[in-house]
């Protein structure tokens, strides 16, 4: 696993946790949270497989 892939594996869960935390604080809507999680996972998968 390259350093870039390790960074993706580390950063993606942090983004997801942050989005969920913002949702619980009432800052993000449910739609915004789902969008943020789905797009971060999709981007991570694409970048992970192309590295």
**Total number of domains in the chain:** 1
Range of the domain at 21: 3-50
Determine the average pLDDT of the residues in 12-19.
96
pLDDT at 1 over 90: no
Q: Packing angle between helix 30-50 and helix 3-25, nearest 10 degrees?
A: 180
DSSP conformational letter for 26: T
Could you tell me the pTM of the whole model?
0.84
Give the number of other Cβ atoms within 10 Å of residue 35's Cβ: 13
């Amino acid at each position: 696993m390259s350093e870039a892939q390790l960074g993706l594996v580390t950063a993606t869960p942090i983004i997801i946790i942050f989005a969920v935390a913002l949702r619980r604080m009432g800052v993000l809507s449910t739609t915004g949270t789902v969008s943020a999680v789905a797009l971060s996972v999709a981007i991570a998968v694409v970048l992970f497989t192309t590295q």
